[in-house]
Amino acid sequence: MELNVSDLTVTRGGIKVLEDVSFAVKAGEALVLRGPNGIGKTTLLRTVAGLQPALRGEVSLDREQMAYAGHADGIKAPLSVTENLEFWAAVFGTGSIAPALQAFDLEALAARPAGALSAGQKRRLGLARMVVTGRPVWVMDEPTVSLDTSAVQLFAEAVRAHLAGGGLALLATHIDLGLAEARVLDVGPFKAKPPALEDFDGAFL
């Protein structure tokens, strides 16, 4: 399995933000997208995951193989931690939630309503959802927001286990995950050029 992104041009609010982005991620690999605030990492990830259309270009894999974790945790506040994960296990047709609970150290919180978790605990639950999906391609936008140092390590271990199981991961993050094996792609050079002015003088009128 390989995720191939070819000449992808992505837009936000109808304006091109990144142009002709190409990269490949093989099974067992993680690619970290880097770039300053507002450059278009979220837009690129959403487009790769099929949540918005591309202006141009190709994404090789079927979106059914992908699981996306965005800025929102995607959890249901009145349901317990266990019930949240069981819900997602039912949606994705997967089995036991025990590995996900264990991976993100959620066992002691299993019966707690998700609405009564701290921000970092909610984020751990949101990330545990990725394990439950059973999908091979993880697309993740700033996954470590709100996580403390030990939770970042848990996350890095979960990604490593995912890669070891033949999965792959595409992530945007500003922090060092301690994943030495991850490749880094600076998306800065793909920043879309402003459209050329057809009537230069007119621009001053």
Residue ranges binding ligand ATP (CB under 6 A): 12-13, 17, 35, 37-43
> How many angstroms from the chain centroid is the CA of residue 118?
21
**Shortest distance in whole angstroms from residue 4 CB to ligand ATP:** 21
Residue (84 or 144) nearer to ligand ATP, CB: 144
Residue (37 or 149) nearer to ligand ATP, CB: 37
**Shortest distance in whole angstroms from residue 75 CB to ligand ATP:** 21
Question: How many C-alpha atoms does 41 have within 13 Å on its Cβ side?
Answer: 25
Judged by phi (left if over 0) then psi (alpha if -120 to 50, else beta), residue 116 lies in alpha
**Closest residue to ligand ATP using C-beta atoms:** 13
In terms of Cβ atoms closer than 10 Å to its own Cβ (0-12, 13-18, 19+), residue 172 is buried
Residues written for the chain: 205
CA terminus-to-terminus distance, the chain? 54
**Shortest distance in whole angstroms from residue 36 CB to ligand ATP:** 7
Residue (41 or 129) nearer to ligand ATP, CB: 41
**Shortest distance in whole angstroms from residue 14 CB to ligand ATP:** 8
Residue (41 or 162) nearer to ligand ATP, CB: 41
